[in-house]
Amino acid sequence: MRTLSLCFALALGTAPLGAAEPARPLAEKYLHAGELARGEQALTVALDATPKDDQLRFGLGVIQFARAIERLGQALHQYGAKSENATVPFLRLPVPKNDKPHAISYEALGRTLDVFVADLGRAERALAGVTDDKVKLPLRLALVKFDLTGCGKSTDKFLDVLTRLNGGRFEFQTDNPDLLVCFDRGDVAWLRAYCHLLSAIVEAYRAVDLEWLFDERVKHVFPKVEPSRRKPANDDELVITDGARLGRFRKHMLDVCKLNRETWRHIRAETDNDHEWLPHAKQKSAIGLPVDDRRIDGWLDFVDTLEGLLTGERLVSPELLNLVGWKCDDKGVNFSKLLSDPPAKLSDKKLRDDGIDAKYLEAVGDKKTFGLADVFRVWGVLNNGPFGFAYAAWFN
């Protein structure tokens, strides 16, 4: 999964020609200086003095989000991560080379990801306080700096990080070298949704015992890996070591769904066309990808389908369960119940031989189901043309 790298690679924009230069917000000063900790403190103090200033609040959330990324990068640098070799989520963030890396362990990576989730939570809570529908936060993203080594010097430019992720220059750099974007109220909901999405992925990863796979999966990413101590009793079993995390995963994803609808409700109400990040059908996209009502409606339909599975209002169909060979007695699976009260173990062999636990099954009646046709419909939304998955990462 490349959610994190796509999130960075798409968090950019180009400016329409002839647009007036917007006033510079306080947050940009600290983002450009790479002084994220000082910026968080300064904006917190300023917000205490003017609590109704939602540009300050929006800027504080952005700085806190940037700090979450910076602190994750510093941890990866400490362990000498080689992002070019990574396929595991959150390990693809390019960090400077470390010639004296520490040895990483399964527990250490878990702690790093937990800190990342805590940092994202702080940013999301700040953003949740924004209520001004006319809020604007113009930022020149190319000039944002990070300290990804933890040495106290912010020398890692945002654009350089993106270029390494992309493998070369972006086309929009020619027309807008500063990468100016005017973020607005819809983008507040968008960034909140991304905080929840990234947190959900971590919670799902941390809910199950993957230590027995750790050595093999990260040996090409980290130079020094402490050997895993625990091996599974049965390679066929997926052991759920912290079921509460799956409940938190579900809640985060429900927030993603809710905030996606909020995002597009605000965006579709816009009447301007000012350095747009996420545009509606009559606006121009800052990153050059076209957006029309058909694509937005298709995405929101996908969000509704996902939400139905997460609330239990929609069941995983017997057709789909039988297709993978899991016995279900022609009943559907309530995915919400499965996440809220997961079993201690999941085994493909047991699901084939003994079937799915009855407490997760419901008779298919008035509820909608999620079947094979829905799989293809969702695939069509996520893979619609050459930019399909880019749209999914962009829309979140």
pLDDT value at position 3?
40
**CA atoms of 218 and 31, how far apart (whole Å):** 32
Q: Which sequence spans correspond to the domains of the chain? A: 3-291, 312-396
Closest C-alpha among 154, 189, 142 to residue 67: 154
Handedness of CA 263, 268, 274, 276 (dihedral sign): positive
In sequence order, the β-bridge partners of residue 183 are 137
Q: Whose structure tokens read 């800027």?
A: 59
Residues 6+ apart with CB under 8 A from 247: 339, 340
Q: How many CA atoms does the CB half-sphere of 67 hold within 13 Å?
A: 23
Encode the chain (396 residues) as per-residue pLDDT tens digits.
344 333 443 333 333 434 455 569 999 999 999 999 999 999 999 999 999 999 999 999 999 999 999 999 999 999 999 988 888 778 888 999 999 999 999 999 999 999 999 999 999 999 999 999 999 999 998 899 999 999 999 988 887 787 777 667 766 667 778 888 999 999 999 999 999 999 999 999 999 998 888 888 899 999 999 988 666 557 678 899 999 999 999 999 999 999 999 999 999 999 999 888 899 999 987 777 778 998 899 899 999 999 999 999 999 999 999 999 999 999 999 999 999 999 999 998 899 999 999 999 999 988 999 999 988 888 777 666 544 666 777 888
pLDDT value at position 389?
63
Token pair recorded at residue 80? 């000498």
**CA atoms of 163 and 40, how far apart (whole Å):** 27
For 107, other C-beta atoms within 10 Å of its C-beta total: 12
**CA atoms of 368 and 317, how far apart (whole Å):** 9
Q: How far apart are the first and last CA of the chain?
A: 13
pLDDT value at position 381?
72
In sequence order, the β-bridge partners of residue 145 are 157
Give Cα separations from 79 to 51, 74, 164, 342, 346 (angstroms): 40, 9, 19, 33, 32
**CA atoms of 179 and 177, how far apart (whole Å):** 5
pLDDT value at position 174?
73
